Structure 1
Amino acid sequence: MWGIELRFKDEISLSRQIFLTLKERIVTGQISQREALPSTRELAKGLGISRNTVCEAYDMLLTEGFIISRQGAPSRVAEGLHIHTYKKADMPAETRSDSPPILWDFKTGQPDLSLFPWSLWSQMIRDAAICLPVQELEYNGPKGYQPLCEEISQWLFRSRGMEVHPEDIFITSGAMQALHLLVDLLYKEGQVFAIEDPSHPGIRTVIADKGYPLHTMQVDEQGADISSLEGKAVSAVYVTPSHQFPLGGILPAGRRAALIRLAIEHDFYIIEDDYDSEFRYIGPPVSPIYSMDSSHVIYVGTFSKTVFPALRLGFAVLPKPLQARWKHYRNFMDVQNPVLEQAALAEFLRKRKMDKHVQHMRQVYSDKRKILLSSIENAFGNSVRPWGDASGLHVALQFPGMEFEKQFVRDSTEAGIRVYPLTQFCPAQDNHKDKLLIGYGHLSQTQIQEGVRALHQFLKKNDLAAGEAKLL
């Protein structure tokens, strides 16, 4: 009746179903303005339901102004409500993909979540919910949960030798939120943001979407070429000096010092993204640029690799002159992060569970790295050269004389292998065409061995393993 089809087992009440159906038919013009609706008694009888249910639906329509009602007269549709003409939606045809599933996904930046101490984390979340004072559940401002800031300060000292005051630490929803805030915070009219080439597409996209000018610094095996900044009017410089993403180089002290001198001389800030330096397998941890000069360096960290990506907790260490504006920007973005997760992470750090977990995972990833490198050597011999394999959860592989482009990605995906050409991380996509990025942190040792063999067989099958130059 009146196009109303009731679903008696639905979670939505019958009265709301009637309201939503009549509302939709009014807005789409199927029920004309000033048209009289059936009486509540008549509609209830036609639908086989109680009159009270229909009365509730009519009350909703009346409250929101879709109908008008007068004593002794039928309820009528109000005027001026027709928005668009009704068109029955085409039901999507059932589709099925004949493509084989992805058997080996060498995605980057993905930790092994199977080894995280989930039961311990769940207990810490429960304890936070029980023990947090009521005032901590109120709006607490944009800085973050203070006990977490204090524990991060201690964690940075233990893991990186950084001396950071808790008051300079600001909690974020991961590193990307920090970068969004910093780009707006640091932009100077007409002056460029300098980033590495190649670099993570996230920072490039943030800057480009805001319409800010961009300058790229070419990257070699030692990181960014700082000399290209000479003579540039710079808003800020973004670098990954401890483990350049994606090539893996370590920015040497000479380049770091030159970058700091430029920042001081021309009054700009350096954004240091330290995204995975906890996992270093050769030699001692690399000191951050922040340790050389904290006045012109903004240190950005994240717990996505050390804890788990969905936690969405990171932090920025801000120089004093930026803190008031940061608080203003953050206040009108989302105010603060969820406090339960912050409290649980603070306890995870305080009880040194983070230290223990990172130490364990460093050994796990070191073993996986060895398996990856030996599998590459067994499959490809000396024809493939690894880049940046001393740290992190990925390695860049150089295949001299070869070029990997979009068709290669499509073909390898069809073969059940997902790999990532380095050109995806280059602004102009015309450099490093002979390199693939291979992530291995989330894969088992068996998956790594099988995946490398599958990649070799795929390249060999497509006449790409012989080292001949070929456009794809």
Structure 2
Amino acid sequence: MIWIELNKTSEKPIYQQIYVRVKEQILLGELAEGERLPSSRVLATTLNVSRSVILEAYDQLIAEGYIKSKQGAGTFVESGISLEGFPSGVLPPVSVKTIDSKNNPKSIKNNLIDFRSGVPCLKKFPRKKWGSIGKDVYENIEASLFGYSSPEGSEQLRNVLSTYLDRTRGINCHPNQIIITSGATQAFTLLAKLLVKSNSEVLIEDPVTKEIPEIFIERGAKITPISVDEFGMQTERLTTKRKACIIFVTPSHQFPLGGILPIQRRIQLINFAKKTNSYIIEDDYDSEFRYSGHPVSSIQGLCPERVIYIGTFSKILSPSLRIGYLILPNSLVEEVKNLKRYTDYHSPTIEQVILARFIKDGHLEKHIVKMRKLYNKKRAFLIKCLKNEFGDLVTILGASTGIHLVGQFNIKFSTKILDEIKLNGVNIFPVENHALVKGHHNNKLIFGYGNLTEEELEQGIKRLRNVIEAEIAKKY
């Protein structure tokens, strides 16, 4: 019998804790010569950890000669290993057979499966190529680039971006219209400072990323929700009593419901902006990952003088890079440059130079192709899991693009149910959290899958089903 207690707050990796405790028991003779160990799948379920963690621990024990694997038979303790006087006490003994994950919410919580949206697969960051380019950049760039730079950002990156976005997103701009920002959040903050006057009106999709209206409200804006359907913003509902306003949209992949705004609505939106002397803010946060056909072209390419385009590399590469950008009508460029200067002077320069090289040499597009295949596989697997566990009780929304989808269920997710879901090891957010007008989306959950393995996706959906089944059972 294996005795293991894991400390999931320890700096020591979980696989190492398992490896150390099994080794201890073998050396102390608590695991006898020839004794069969639990299978990796059984032990993973019992300890509420990933099976890959168990396999890593077992592989290390096999490599050091403590255990051996017999194909088709199992894994066994090797002979001649018991060591008299071996000092134990690294971990207090607790039989894994006494650990019941259903009755040990603390254990589950420490192994949370996080369906947070907007997080790419962090393990797949192209660190080798990025590091190679970075090494060359640091060794060979001119010394002046280590000094202060201009607020609009690296000229090299802006030139490369202008060409790249024209080819891939149908963006119509000169490099001088691009302002490099510290992520998309700074881009929104700069625009709020520039465009929001006393009691300005912002027409905004509903539901929407909840931080967006908060940024504009903080500047004193009046928010007017415009409801969305399966095709995105319902542009026929656009109306304002003010002379000018701001219109916020995510036309290439509405967040969170996933609709793609058709050309008829795009034209209607542009005509409304022209008529009211308003600006459209186009947030293009993850449209590179489209799974049928090519990515949808931008609204900016249709009307550069009325559209402000926001892009980011957080979803494509990594949030930690903190590199986003604004593409502005010529009339707004100087004002935003001044705001940027007084905000942080400029975004980090060296990372911009590395990114410029990364894009120019074709590595970004290769990475996108690679990740599109990976995310498409994860997306299909997640849909399969949802259908296997819930069948006709779930409807999938917005799965054609991006790294999240929405599941619409036959129950409403109260705060109590969501707390119970989290207590059972799943972190997930309802669409209702992003709704400006409450009460219409509390049966929908957002499933971010970019940074989860298939094993985590499957386990997360099973845990979710257990909670939902229990809630349904309470009603009957």
Q: Do they fold alike, i.e. is TM over 0.5?
A: yes
Task: Map Cα deviations across residues 348-404 of structure 1 (whole Å, 9 max, x no partner).
Answer: 10110101100000000000011011111111112210110000111111113x111
Alignment of 1:26-37 (within 5 A): none
Aligned to 1:50: none
Aligned to 1:383: 393
Q: Is 1:161 matched up with 2:170?
A: yes
Aligned to 1:105: 114
Alignment of 1:192-341 (within 5 A): 192-233=201-242, 234-341=244-351
Which amino acid in the other structure matches residue 154 of structure 1? T
Aligned to 1:174: 183
Task: Map Cα deviations across residues 384-440 of structure 1 (whole Å, 9 max, x no partner).
Answer: 10110000111111113x111211221111111111111110124322111011110
Equivalent pair of 1:110/1:305 in contact (CA under 8 Å): yes
Partner Cα distance (1:119, 1:439) in 2: 26
Q: Is 1:146 matched up with 2:155?
A: yes
Aligned to 1:6: none
Greater Rg over alpha carbons, structure: 1
Partner Cα distance (2:232, 2:388) in 1: 29
Which amino acid in the other structure matches residue 351 of structure 1? D
Aligned to 2:453: 444
Partner Cα distance (1:185, 1:386) in 2: 39
Question: Larger deviation: 173-182 or 125-134?
Answer: 125-134
Partner Cα distance (2:291, 2:239) in 1: 34
Alignment of 1:432-471 (within 5 A): 432-463=441-472
Partner Cα distance (1:107, 1:321) in 2: 37
How many equivalent residue pairs? 371
Question: Larger deviation: 151-160 or 286-295?
Answer: 151-160
Aligned to 1:372: 382
Aligned to 1:360: 370
Equivalent pair of 2:172/2:304 in contact (CA under 8 Å): no
Task: Map Cα deviations across residues 55-113 of structure 1 (whole Å, 9 max, x no partner).
Answer: xxxxxxxxxxxxxxxxxxxxxxxxxxxxxxxxxxxxxxxxxx94632432111001001
Calculate percent identity across the aligned residue pairs: 37
Q: Is 1:129 matched up with 2:138?
A: yes
- Rate the CA distance shift 1:332–1:253 in 2: closer, same or farther, 3 A: same
Task: Map Cα deviations across residues 276-305 of structure 1 (whole Å, 9 max, x no partner).
Answer: 000000222111111211110011000001
Name the SS for the 1:290 alignment partner. coil
Equivalent pair of 1:405/1:421 in contact (CA under 8 Å): no
Which amino acid in the other structure matches residue 291 of structure 1? G
Partner Cα distance (1:274, 1:103) in 2: 30
Name the SS for the 1:238 alignment partner. strand
Task: Map Cα deviations across residues 295-343 of structure 1 (whole Å, 9 max, x no partner).
Answer: 1001100000111000000101110000111111111111101111011
Aligned to 1:3: none
Partner Cα distance (2:463, 2:293) in 1: 32
Name the SS for the 2:371 alignment partner. helix
Name the TM-score, length of structure 2 as normaliser: 0.75
Name the SS for the 1:332 alignment partner. helix
Q: Is 1:345 matched up with 2:348?
A: no
Aligned to 1:54: none
Equivalent pair of 1:277/1:392 in contact (CA under 8 Å): yes
Name the SS for the 2:402 alignment partner. coil
Query: Shift of the alpha carbon at 1:163?
Result: 3.4
Alignment of 1:67-86 (within 5 A): none
Which amino acid in the other structure matches residue 447 of structure 1? E
Which amino acid in the other structure matches residue 261 of structure 2? L
Partner Cα distance (1:236, 1:147) in 2: 31
Equivalent pair of 2:196/2:220 in contact (CA under 8 Å): no
Query: Shift of the alpha carbon at 1:227?
Result: 2.7
- Rate the CA distance shift 1:99–1:207 in 2: closer, same or farther, 3 A: farther
Question: Larger deviation: 364-373 or 137-146?
Answer: 137-146
Partner Cα distance (1:407, 1:302) in 2: 35
Question: Larger deviation: 258-267 or 309-318?
Answer: 258-267
Question: Larger deviation: 440-449 or 354-363?
Answer: 440-449
Equivalent pair of 1:102/1:418 in contact (CA under 8 Å): no
Partner Cα distance (2:374, 2:447) in 1: 17
- Rate the CA distance shift 1:188–1:254 in 2: closer, same or farther, 3 A: farther
Partner Cα distance (1:439, 1:359) in 2: 19
Give unpaired runs (5+ residues) of structure 2. 1-104
Partner Cα distance (2:215, 2:107) in 1: 33
Name the SS for the 2:286 alignment partner. coil
Partner Cα distance (1:260, 1:164) in 2: 17
Equivalent pair of 2:300/2:308 in contact (CA under 8 Å): yes
Which amino acid in the other structure matches residue 128 of structure 2? S
Alignment of 1:364-443 (within 5 A): 364-400=374-410, 402-443=411-452
**2:125 pairs with 116, 133, 151, which one?**
116
